[in-house]
Chains A and B, each alone.
Chain A
Amino acid sequence: MSLIHVRNLSKHFKVLNRREGLGGALRDLFSGDYRTVEAVADISFDIEAGEIVGYIGPNGAGKSTTIKMMTGILKPMGGLIEINGLPPYENRIRQAQIMGVVFGQRTQLWWDLPVIESFKILKEIYKVDQKTFDEHMGMFNELAGLKQLYSQQVRTLSLGQRMLCDITASFLHNPQVVFLDEPTIGLDVSVKAKMRSIIKELNQTRNTTIILTTHDLGDVEALCNRIIIIDKGKLLYDGDIKKVNALFGAYRTLKLQVDNFNETTLQTLNEKLTERFGTGHGIVVGESEEFWTDVTIDQARTPLSDVLNHVMTNFPVSDVRIVEISMENVVRKVYDGALS
């Protein structure tokens, strides 16, 4: 029996169709014009103990709704969820004891109190004994260096510090499964890296199952062995990350600002690159925002550095940016049949 068992899960919301403007708002007072938004439709998967699963999809795909149903906050309208054999919604209090949750957008700590007080309250709520508590806090102090923050009010913490504290809080009672809902949102590169290493460490030392939703494909690459992609409430892909890695891991977009940009620039650039790397080189040239040219490169076939070198020596380039492929592009590629 798997730790998390989800079958044909669905949830829809009724939303009032709001009209525009003040007049519209007044008419809405008496309106019964609802439409149904399908947030999650017929999703099934199983997750084994000790896995780290990336649960990804574009904005509004239904990720957070699924997480909220798995944590017992929202009631599913159809289908079944079992965590450790029990549906979380019906046994919320009991199930909460074996789960940890981090919401990247809000904190579960006491906003007005010093950090350490939140941990102490949570220690009592989750019935953690003193010895386990001390060990846990010691370990986190080692990993994240939290000790100097203890006496600070939560609301005075920086976003990165607060997230580290929230993660500490979610693992405090040694849960079997931890849900991380966009834990790296808004964080800088160094804090992100720290966060990833902590998550990995906890998964390995405690065999904690981790479900991670994120918009940062870097998180997924660094942490997950398996990913589940959903869009518009439907499951698009569930499987090994290696297959998907080819989709987003290898692709990079080189953004170039070329001097004297004109209609022929794209064409010339394309020709020069074909001349140098030949056809089937995995390079696509396209126009993006004003005066910027996008060159998408499949690193599996052509090294990015070679392309960059070639372009820099042959073109009057004034600015360069390298961008990882976006979540939306990944989903588009999945729709186009890239994984089938």
Chain B
Amino acid sequence: MDILKKVPVRDQNPKVRATNFDEVCLGYNMDEAVEEAQRCMECKNPQCVKGCPVAVDIPNFIGALKKSNIAEAYNVITQSSALPAVCGRVCPQESQCEGKCIRGIKGEPVSIGKLERFVADYALENDFKPKKPNEKIDKKVAVIGSGPAGLTCAGDLARLGYDVTVFEALHKYGGVLVYGIPEFRLPKEKVVQKEIEKVAEMGVKFEKNVIVGKSVTIQQLMDNEKFVAIFIGSGAGLPKFMNIPGENANGVFSANEYLTRNNLMKAFDENYDTPIIIGKNVVVVGGGNVAMDAARTALRLGSNVNIVYRRGEKELPARVEEVHHAKEEGVQFDLLRNPKRIITNENGDVCGIEVIKMDLGEPDESGRRSPIEVIGSEYEIKADVVIMALGTSPNPLISSTTEGLDLDRRKCIVTTDEFGQTTKVGVFAGGDAVTGAATVILAMGAGKAAAEGIHKFLSE
């Protein structure tokens, strides 16, 4: 074994997986996991923990794993993370825990994400039970949204003994974990569903098809249904468009729509009624995780796929692993290109997209070099489906129906302390609804902090 290198993880063959929706990364088995664990030096002053937004006690869980004590490893992880099987799969480890690992200075960092995933999957398969609440507290708390922020907050509050109900607008629980991130990256039945069941086992009640702000307001939940505290984890679900000509043509989708049809409503499965347009040539606009997911979904449905992104390869905001997987599977990248207009035929269907070449100029306030158009460099790419993956912002359904809940300029909910207290007494918020589109682990961290805040508020 080369101590400088990660124990390689088994993936599905790129040629095969480009035609199915099964999970790409097969994960470690027990032997591989224990072998990889040996690479961790169980540092006294572990840098990796500083890179993790929820400070998972990494050396301790890996230490237990070295001794094949999975129950203990699981116990250590779940003190900080409520959804480890999810985080192990979707965290941008290269810029978080693994990015700080000492091993990474000379060689490859310890494969923390894959180890976390192994422990969590083992726990799910062997049905390890989460700790039940000690004693019941007779106070009702409402959690709005069943994404990672809401699930974490609900789980933590239930563990403290509160009577918690999660309200979800859609007909399935999990937020972006079910409607956004595809099956081949995050299995729904095997992982997401199981993690949600764990939260339910803790005594959390779930009610779906409730759109807070429409089916019931925050004030009504407090006044009529006697919820004494509320957590808003409603995410940032509103898709952005570019406002270029042709954008409302047939065949132009937001990534949200494309992914929802496929993930939440299983358009890829012929037994479901949902229709989806399978393009011959699909162009995906954007360079984040969402763009990669849309591109790789289209590829699996049988399309040729080009990603159009206005900056260069280095600037792609997606996880490194996703970009790598997308390339392996055959997604083409048209970098330093920006769409100018969408070209349609007489039926209003998309038949192409006009793009312009870009150069990178001076760094902007985000520190990234800003793209500038190369005058006269427009050309056309053939396409019958265009998917816009340009980012999302919070939905105003709740804020517009709740008096006293302040928003910032970007329409995000304002919080006044590190516990997610909003400008309305008894109402807390966290996750994408507060930060704008971010990551699973940050949303979980916020859910956790808010549970603590709510507990303090209700103990006063």
State whether these chains interact.
no
Which residues of A approach B to under 8 Å, CB–CB? none
Which residues of B approach A to under 8 Å, CB–CB? none
